[in-house]
Amino acid sequence: MSDLIDNPFVEFQRVQKSYDGENLVVKDLNLALPKGEFLTMLGPSGSGKTTCLMMLAGFETATHGEIMLDGKAINNIPPHKRGIGMVFQNYALFPHMTVAENLSFPLEVRKIGKSDREAKVKRALDMVQMGEFGNRRPSQLSGGQQQRIALARALVFEPELVLMDEPLGALDKQLREHMQFEITRLAHDLGITTVYVTHDQTEALTMSDRVAVFEDGRIQQLAAPDTLYEEPQNSFVAQFIGENNTLEGVVDEINNDICTVRLDNGDLIDANPVNVTTVGERTKVSIRPERVEFNKERLQEGAHTLKAEVLEFIYMGDIFRTRLSVAGNTDFVVKTRNAPDQPRLKPGEKLDIGWLPQDCRALDA
């Protein structure tokens, strides 16, 4: 999977990685980033995303292919000469140094004079709202403060590329959400190209310009967050990104942009044929929980309806989450807004549910 970008700032050209000479952890990766993009590599453990980041940083060597930075091959350039900022989950701050000394260190390595160093350290600390903390030791800071300092240290020498490996994994939910916003704002304000690795899909969707979804050493889909969620290209992406319902069946008929699927219980539904091409092919039909309606009045012309039975109704404040039995699937979830016209259902109730054919996608089985 490649993408056409003029003058990419970061580029992987047919990159492969094997640790044992036999099994490929990264398989023939082609990926290009323009300058200033915030790209997230998302995927489950072992999918190859962190290995890609480590090859870009220089801590791992590609078995095959070229990694380019600003038009130059960097495969043989050691990490400290690549001019890349790094932020890790464990902060990696020097405990025996003050905050200011931690930030000054990468500048000393680059032989920057004392007065310049002090000005850059002050600027970096102010950027992450930690200007008052220069004389403290890392052990005197909370986890969130340490993460801000790690971020400031990655930015202090004004790199054009910053790599982040699960940097918010150790923080609590509220602080994590706040830091997601801070990191995205800083990256865009400074025009820094950012490659961010996470297995947290919400983080990927809220922070990124584009997301590369990894599985089994390959990019399964590379797209903007809304495209990824609304238009998954295969079953893996549909299941991995957000909550998703699937109904299994066989392709009964294909007409241009609509296919008819005979579900395993015999019901017929229409869907958008995404990666099915032949009649008789097995398929998983994917439909998002918020696209399903209970209220017949809300359903437009051409909507499908199926019989359903309520198994569980959960009040979640802003939304209601209802689990149903539909066409043999007992984990079919519908999310509805907490609104006066939305019914509060009880287990055992039987009802019709519906959606529009363009809202469901016939994917690989």
The predicted-structure confidence for 175-206, as pLDDT tens digits, reads as follows: 888 889 989 998 999 899 999 999 999 999 99
Domains 10-235 and 243-364 share a fold: no
Superfamily of domain 10-235: P-loop containing nucleotide triphosphate hydrolases (3.40.50.300)
The model's pLDDT over 115-124, given as tens digits with 9 standing for 90+, comes to 899 899 999 9
pLDDT score at 88: 83
State how far the Cα of 217 lies from the Cα of 183, in Å rounded to an integer. Answer: 27
Computed over every residue of the chain, the mean pLDDT equals: 91
If pLDDT is split at 50, 70 and 90, which confidence band does 11 have?
very high
Architecture of the 243-364 domain? Beta Barrel (2.40)
What's the half-sphere exposure (Cβ side, CA atoms, 13 Å) at 166? 14
Residue 42 contacts residue 199 (beta carbons within 8 Å)? yes
If pLDDT is split at 50, 70 and 90, which confidence band does 1 have?
very low
pTM of the model: 0.89
**Percent of the chain topping pLDDT 70:** 96
The model's pLDDT over 238-251, given as tens digits with 9 standing for 90+, comes to 999 989 999 999 99
Mean pLDDT of 15-42: 95
Residue 258 contacts residue 270 (beta carbons within 8 Å)? yes
Structure tokens at 251: 């392709």
SS (H, E, C) 343-355: CCCCCCCEEEEEE
Question: Domain ranges in the chain?
Answer: 10-235, 243-364
What's the half-sphere exposure (Cβ side, CA atoms, 13 Å) at 122? 6
DSSP letter, residue 299: P
**Does an H or E element contain 338, and which?**
none
pLDDT score at 47: 93
**Percent of the chain topping pLDDT 90:** 64
- What lies within 8 Å, CB to CB, of 238 at 6+ separation is 232, 244, 246, 284, 286, 361, 363
The model's pLDDT over 139-180, given as tens digits with 9 standing for 90+, comes to 899 888 888 898 898 888 888 999 999 988 878 888 888 889
Helix axes of 99-109 and 143-155: crossing angle, nearest 10 degrees:
20
